[in-house]
């Protein structure tokens, strides 16, 4: 049997980075097939007849757009995931790896984040639509494994960043938003205003690292537990700001607006299962990742998603 891998969400941040590790896979976007429609998923699978699937497609965004559009974040993701897994079963797909997010974890959880804590309480109210839809991906995957012995798995990446990210100020995540705002402040000679005190500490994982782990998961992951894809390098928003300003050569005023929300102070995750799965894996440092991302954004400003 040929090893034909289909990647849904192939035009997104993670999908583009996967091309380096899986150059022969098929990369689908929403352009020809809307995966919210079961007919679209069926047509995609009939056309390509994949043996294995890395399922990345989803409605993805930062806090602002999650707050204003919880219906779409819930419904689109529920529909896409339900259709992709159901049709994958109907079409006899072998291995399947899909992505949740650390947003799935309860708001009030004991740290570090570990996969057995996903369903222990309400997710953060800012993104409950997205979080509940993503939790159901774990439930659906577990159900297929139990009833049909599927070799299907889920990953839980933390905050991903890198080239080809979404830099739109209304819908982007933290790092692309900071890079874009710094770019504008530099161009317009105005202060760079940052939401919150900048003291919150986060785990930012470079997109190539996520892609590398997913490429390994589709061939050799065998643990029924979801795999958290994060980094051992925890970093405050202030440190991220310093790195971005250095890469951008920004020497204007930086203002921290601590009247704005910034979420929990720390959200550490347990990466020991990742270390056991890939003991020789070395993460990209945040300095290098930010440098590559800033370089990509400034060189591709016109064509970037913004």
58 is a site residue for ligand NDP (CB under 6 A): yes
Interface with ligand NDP, residue 166, by CB under 6 A = yes
Binding-site member from 80, 200, 214, 290 for ligand NDP (CB under 6 A): 80
Does residue number 290 form part of the binding site for ligand NDP (CB under 6 A)? Answer: no
Site string for ligand NDP, 7-26 (x = CB under 6 A): --xxxxxxx-----------
Q: Closest Cα to residue 169, out of 302, 299, 306, 296?
A: 306
Minimum distance from residue 258 beta carbon to ligand NDP (Å): 24
130 is a catalytic site residue: yes
Question: 99, 228, 243, 247: which one contacts ligand NDP (CB under 6 A)?
Answer: 99
Looking at the DSSP bridge assignments, the partners of residue 53 are 6, 96
CB 203 within 8 A of CB 157: no
Kindly tell me which residue out of 35, 113, 177, 185 binds ligand NDP, with binding defined by CB under 6 A: 35
Which listed residue (30, 168, 234, 236) binds ligand NDP by CB under 6 A?
30
Q: How far is CA 187 from CA 91, 228, 290, 291, in A?
A: 51, 38, 19, 19
Dist CA 143 CA 141 (whole Å): 5
Which of 6, 53, 57, 228 contacts ligand NDP by CB under 6 A?
57
- Of the residues 27, 130, 183, 221, only one is catalytic, namely 130
* Residue 270 CB partners (closer than 8 Å, separation 6+): 112, 113, 114, 228
Residue 54 touching ligand NDP (CB under 6 A): no
- Using an 8 Å Cβ cutoff, are 118 and 84 in contact? no
């Amino acid at each position: 049997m040929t090893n034909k891998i289909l990647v849904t969400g192939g035009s997104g941040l993670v999908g583009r980075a996967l091309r380096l590790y899986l150059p022969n896979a098929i990369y689908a976007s929403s352009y020809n097939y809307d995966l919210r429609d079961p007919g679209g998923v069926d047509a995609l699978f009939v056309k390509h007849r994949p043996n294995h699937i890395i399922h990345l497609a989803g409605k993805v965004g930062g806090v602002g757009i999650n707050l204003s559009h919880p219906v779409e974040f819930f419904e689109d993701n529920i529909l896409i995931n339900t259709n992709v897994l159901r049709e994958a079963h109907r079409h006899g797909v072998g291995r399947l790896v899909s992505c949740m997010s650390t947003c799935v974890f309860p708001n009030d959880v004991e740290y570090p984040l570990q996969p057995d804590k996903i369903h222990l309480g309400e997710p953060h109210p800012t993104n409950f639509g997205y979080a509940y839809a993503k939790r159901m991906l774990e439930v659906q995957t577990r159900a297929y494994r139990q009833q049909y012995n599927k070799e299907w798995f889920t990953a839980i990446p933390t905050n991903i960043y890198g080239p080809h990210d979404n830099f739109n100020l209304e819908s982007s995540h933290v790092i692309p938003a900071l890079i874009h705002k710094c770019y504008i402040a530099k161009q317009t000679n105005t202060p760079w205003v940052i939401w919150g005190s900048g003291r919150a500490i986060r785990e930012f994982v470079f997109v190539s690292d996520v892609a590398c782990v997913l490429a390994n998961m589709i061939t050799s992951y065998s643990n029924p537990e979801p795999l958290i894809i994060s980094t051992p390098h925890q970093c405050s928003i202030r440190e991220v700001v310093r790195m971005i300003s250095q890469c951008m050569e920004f020497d204007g005023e930086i203002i921290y607006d601590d009247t704005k929300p910034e979420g929990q102070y720390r959200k550490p995750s347990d990466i020991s299962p990742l270390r056991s799965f890939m003991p020789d894996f070395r993460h990209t440092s945040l300095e290098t990742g930010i440098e590559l991302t800033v370089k990509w954004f400034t060189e591709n400003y016109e064509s970037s998603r913004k």
